[in-house]
Amino acid sequence: MKFLDINRIWSYSLACILGFMEPISTLILWLLIFIGVDLITGVWASIQEGKIITSHGLQRTVIKFLMYSVSVILLQGIDVYMLTFIDCYLAKVGCTLICGIELYSVFENCYRITGNEVFRVLTQFAVKKIKEKTGVKINGRKRTKKTNDK
């Protein structure tokens, strides 16, 4: 009889992790779908505009997915283990906010691809609804590189 059966420890650990992740697996899948559609439309728009697609840009997409997923997992931990006296559904709320912002980006990309005013109107509608429901202002956001002040 072994005191520490490493296979059993790994099996139990994996079962615990998967048990915790099961309720949010659909949310993580939706994150992947929204980020994937944003990636595809962004690459398409960049190709149409003659911009160069770099591995750095694709790397940012992977990092974004990982950070969003970690955020949803942490929100689920708060929901399940810390706020047990109320049902906040923080993971769902956080995932909805993230997917809403990604949808805004998809609409922007579709407008860049087609030039169709419908996508510009949808972009403005998404901005209005996101700000109205969450207070988050995403209109006119500018992506800047981090600089080190020395």
- Kindly report, residue by residue over 15-63, the tens digit of the pLDDT: 888 888 888 889 999 999 999 999 999 999 999 998 888 888 889 999 9
Residue 76 in domain: yes
Residue 119 lies in a domain: yes
Which stretch of 25-34, 96-105, 136-145 has the lowest confidence by average pLDDT?
A: 136-145
Domain housing 97: 23-134
Confidence of residue 80 (pLDDT cuts 50, 70, 90): confident
Total structural domains within the chain: 1
Report if residue 38 sits inside a domain. yes
Residue 147 resides in a domain: no
- Residue 149 confidence (pLDDT): 42
Q: CA-CA distances (angstroms) from residue 141 to 22, 72, 137, 138, 149?
A: 34, 23, 8, 6, 22
For residue 115, tell me if it sits in a domain.
Answer: yes
Q: Is 146 helix (H, G, I), strand (E, B) or coil?
A: coil
132 vs 36, higher pLDDT: 36
pLDDT tens, residue by residue, 102-113: 998 899 999 999
- Spatial contact of 116 and 150, defined as CB atoms under 8 Å apart: no
Confidence class for position 139, pLDDT limits 50, 70, 90: low
* 59 found inside a domain: yes
